[in-house]
Amino acid sequence: MYNEKVMDVFKNPKNVGEIENADGVGTVGNASCGDIMQISLKIENDVIVDAKFKTFGCAAAIATSSTATEMIKGMTIKEALEVTNKKVVECLGGLPAQKIHCSVLAEEAIKKAIDDYLAKKNA
């Protein structure tokens, strides 16, 4: 069902956990499958210096969370907002069609975390 890269990332995820006093936190979920994903960000001068995730879900949900957080570290906010679920899937070498929604959750969690950061910054 999953390719070798997805299984490797699932078995050895990076950035698991939560950033204490995060600058932005985004939590999303998919009611139909039960996956819940939270991404927390540490941002300095509009650059994402750290990203961590906590995910309750299947192998694809964990693999996309790990991959997405790895992708955005070092990016500016503007660059991170351009990360799409398709880019996450490409980075993983593909996902089964019925698991694409996991990559959508990753994209949405990034955007929600950045929205949270911007709301706090402009408050």
Return the active site residues.
33, 102
| Three-state DSSP class for residue 39 | strand
What is d(CA 42, CA 74) in angstroms, rounded to the nearest whole number? 11
* Three-state SS at 99: helix
Helix, strand, coil fractions of the chain, as percent rounded to 5:
50, 20, 30
Mapping DSSP onto H, E and C, the string for 50-92 reads EEEEEEECCHHHHHHHHHHHHHHCCCEHHHHHCCCHHHHHHHC
Give the Cα separation of 97 and 54 in Å (integer). 23
